[in-house]
């Protein structure tokens, strides 16, 4: 009989809290909240466009959208997301379709988790 193992895909996402604190210090809490909220919306859109372009096989759009995504992610301290977006863009530039498919799936997981953690940070006691 064949045994099937289920592998869980659970990665920790890194958020540069110092970067977020710097934004708050520079802009003040109300303005920083608005800026970060707008950045999250743009990140979600860029993530969706990158994943959709990858699934369509539009490598030029993957590179452009992944670049935008990585820049936005760096600006608000989403370190892991920025790195994975760079990896996706590199796979598209090399036209490495199997690697692109795998890194795009990782991008989607990390992106969703990063956005959730930044939007709804875990409660600390």
Tell me, rounded to whole angstroms, the distance of Cα 46 from its chain centroid.
9
Judge whether 105 and 79 are in contact, CB under 8 Å.
Answer: no
pLDDT tens per residue across all 125 residues of the chain: 688 776 666 778 899 999 999 999 999 999 999 999 999 999 999 999 999 999 999 999 999 999 999 999 999 999 999 999 999 999 999 999 999 999 999 999 999 999 988 776 555 44
What's residue 121's pLDDT? 58
Is residue 30 classed as helix, strand or coil in its secondary structure? Answer: helix
Name the residue among 18, 74, 16 with its Cα closest to residue 46: 74
The rounded distance, in Å, linking the Cα atoms of 117 and 56 is: 28
pLDDT for residue 80: 96
User: In the prediction, which pLDDT does 102 show?
Assistant: 96
């Amino acid at each position: 009989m064949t045994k099937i193992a289920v592998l869980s895909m659970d990665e920790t996402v890194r958020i540069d809290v110092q970067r977020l604190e710097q934004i708050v210090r520079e802009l003040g809490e109300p303005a920083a909240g608005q800026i970060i909220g707008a950045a999250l919306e743009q990140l979600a859109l860029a993530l969706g466009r990158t994943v959709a372009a990858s699934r369509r096989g539009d490598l030029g759009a993957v590179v452009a959208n992944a670049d935008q995504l990585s820049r936005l992610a760096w600006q608000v301290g989403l370190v892991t997301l920025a790195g994975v977006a760079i990896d996706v863009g590199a796979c598209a530039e090399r036209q490495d379709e199997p690697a692109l498919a795998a890194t795009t799936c990782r991008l989607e997981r990390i992106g969703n988790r990063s956005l959730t953690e930044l939007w709804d940070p875990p409660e600390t006691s």
